[in-house]
Amino acid sequence: MSTPLATPEEVIKEYIQNQEHHPLTLAKFIEAKKTYIVSNIVRGHDYKSFWSALFLKMVDSNNMVLEKSKPNWNDIERAITQNTNSAQPPQTSSVSINTESSNNNSSSSNNNNSSNAIKLTEKDLQNFRELFEKLDEESFWVLSTGTVVEIQMKKFALNCTHEHPSHSLILDTTDRSWRSYFTDKELEEIEKENQPTIRPLPPQVVEYLNHYASYKTMDDIWEESTNGEYVSKATTECANADRSISAAQAMSRRKIGTKTDLLFTTQFFEFGTCEASKTTDITSTKTLQEAGIKIPRTLKDMLYVLSNECPTQLKTCGLAISGLNILPIVMDSPKGYVARVNRPQRFFHHPSNESNFYKNMTTILKIILNMKMMMSEVVEVIDNTPDDTSFGSRRVLVLPKSFIPEIKTSKKRKFGTLLKPTALSKVFGDIFVFIYAIAEKDTQCV
């Protein structure tokens, strides 16, 4: 019998080598191993495609025959919806976004659980404690159960030995590590507090989509575009927030902010970002790191800068793209000092053929247009908020800045020079060209 620590390959190999399971079908395997599959679901994982492809690969590599069948995924979907999959204990040896997948992904990523995670020093943990001590306890987020969100986040953050979004008071309720610090009821309350809503597509967009009904091939639909890389001003500002003129010590060198594939910005402020990979692999270390750490950190930095202008009604938006998959991420701060991550349970898929073009494209456009409307609304709030012209250095802390480890290795990468919304990958090019064409002038995409 497979153990909870068995890899998917080991589970499949054990199953197909048992003659009692022959003739082999995917449907029988899914039914037999549904408990294992549910307990090893990875956030954003297209588990249907993953298990179907891996099972076929293992059968072929062992020179066996796979008979046609129609798997029943309903039980698995219900279990995921009801959050009945097994909770993982808190990991103290790595970042949760990595440890969560270290035992669930294919062998190519089994050894990458800390390849991009930054190991914290005692000085880092002390810096986090000092950051937390600056917060006003009277402003903490207290749930209906009496649990204080920031206190639970502090407990978890101090148990981590590698950098985690919790060190920047970023809370993503889909991260299974939080189940050891909050009950299901508390996590639901955190999710539902002033939760962002997705509005229907405007009539003109629906009409626009209907024009594609006459296209018969994907070549008629897409056109090629290129990409670039940009530096976030918000992350640069946060990284240099404590920089001052020389006194007892020499002035520190100016730090450069996060490099990102796409920024949504006005002249002075940033409202959204995007990271993309041309490889369609949502379980890769790159995708998990970008969706779980890099994008939330960048959005938190943007939220921090915006909160200095206007402390309420703020949201920042991000997109994680992995080849043909896209995951929307919206960050807000509903209460206290918590930067909450709002995201769906899985990645959405780019149209792969003519038959699913309308359905998949409608979903993607609904996501992107809603994010565009959210950013436009924040622009309007910022523009209509009077400036504080009073003198003095003291101000109310709305959100703490992001946590930055003492030692961080960075790679030299080229900066983008494009000033138009060219695509992150070829298949999404037309989407952003369209969004840019219908966008209002208050927000530009660079």
Under 8 Å between Cβ of 294 and 258: yes
Under 8 Å between Cβ of 184 and 174: no
- Two structure tokens written together for 23: 């003739």
For 157, phi then psi, to 5°, come to -60, -40
Closest by CA to 398, choosing from 316, 303, 276, is 303
- Two structure tokens written together for 444: 């530009």
pLDDT digits (tens, 9 = 90+) for 303-337: 998 988 877 779 999 999 988 899 999 999 999 89
Check residue 148 and give its pLDDT.
96
* DSSP for residue 347: -
Which residues partner with 259 through β-bridges? 231
Q: What's the pTM?
A: 0.61
Measured distance between the N- and C-terminal CA atoms of the chain, rounded to whole angstroms: 53
Count helices and strands in the chain by DSSP H and E runs: 15, 12
Question: How confident is the model over 61-67, as a mean pLDDT?
Answer: 88
pLDDT digits (tens, 9 = 90+) for 90-136: 443 333 333 333 333 333 333 334 345 688 899 999 999 999 999 99
Report which of residues 426 and 438 the model is more confident about.
438
Most confident of 193-202, 234-243, 346-355, 428-437: 193-202
Domain boundaries, the chain: 8-86, 203-386+395-445
Under 8 Å between Cβ of 380 and 211: no
Q: Is 431's pLDDT higher than 60? A: no
- What integer best gives the mean pLDDT of the chain? 75
Under 8 Å between Cβ of 236 and 404: no
How far is 24 from 168, CA to CA, in rounded Å? 48
Among 160-164, 170-174, 415-419, the minimum mean pLDDT is found in: 415-419
- Two structure tokens written together for 114: 């800390």
Q: Per-residue confidence at 389, pLDDT binned at 50, 70, 90?
A: low
Q: Is 269 left (phi over 0), alpha (psi -120 to 50) or beta?
A: beta
Closest by CA to 342, choosing from 374, 317, 377, is 317
Check residue 220 and give its pLDDT.
53
> Which residues in 177-278 belong to E strands, given as ranges?
230-231, 259-260, 262-265, 270-277
* DSSP for residue 268: S
Q: Per-residue confidence at 48, pLDDT binned at 50, 70, 90?
A: confident
Q: Distance from CA of residue 431 to its chain's centroid?
A: 20
Long-range pairs for 347-351: beta carbons < 8 A, 24 or more residues apart:
347/44, 347/46, 347/282, 347/320, 347/322, 349/46, 349/324, 349/325, 350/323, 350/324, 350/325, 350/326, 350/427, 350/428, 351/218
Q: Is 63 left (phi over 0), alpha (psi -120 to 50) or beta?
A: left
What one-letter code names the amino acid at 46? D
How far is 225 from 84, CA to CA, in rounded Å? 43
How many other β-carbons are positioned within 10 Å of the β-carbon of residue 304?
Answer: 24
Check residue 392 and give its pLDDT.
60
> Which residues in 72-178 belong to E strands, given as ranges?
170-172
Among 178-192, 206-220, 242-256, 284-298, the minimum mean pLDDT is found in: 242-256
How far is 134 from 139, CA to CA, in rounded Å? 12
| Secondary structure of residue 325 in the 3-state scheme | strand
How far is 340 from 171, CA to CA, in rounded Å? 5
| Secondary structure of residue 95 in the 3-state scheme | coil
Most confident of 18-32, 38-52, 348-362: 18-32
